[in-house]
Structures are given as C-alpha cells and as structure tokens.
Amino acid sequence: MDTKELFSAASNFGFPMVLSWYLLLRMEQRLDRLTHCLNELIRAIISKEKEGQ
C-alpha cells in the first residue's frame, strides 16, 4: 500500500481504524514467523527425545 492509498483510507475510515489495520497486518506476519519457529523447536525436541530412547 503506497502513501496515497494510505491517506485515502485514513480519510475514508478514520485514522484509528487504519492504524489498527496496519498494526494487525504487521503483527500477523510476526505471529506467523513465531508459529513457524515454535513448530521447528517442537520437532527438534521430539527428535532429540527419540534419539535418547
């Protein structure tokens, strides 16, 4: 989204709503990365437990 579209959305929907939407999008990307890392960690722990048995 470029600056012109952002300002247009802010004028149409209000600044708080646009800001909330922007922050939710950024948070979603970080949560996706966090979920991916946690899944990798779980797989590593499970594989270590299997090796130890």
Residue 33 has what pLDDT?
94
Q: Are 44 and 36 within 8 A, CB to CB? A: no
Task: Give dist(CA 53, CA 37) in Å, integer.
Answer: 25
Query: Of residues 42 and 19, which shows the higher confidence score?
Result: 42
Question: For 33-52, what is each residue's pLDDT tens digit?
Answer: 999 999 999 999 999 998 87
Show me where the domains of the chain are located. Answer: 3-52
Residue 1 has what pLDDT?
62
Which residues, 6+ apart, have CB-to-CB distance to 6 below 8 Å?
18, 22
- The yes-or-no verdict on residue 5 having pLDDT over 80 is yes
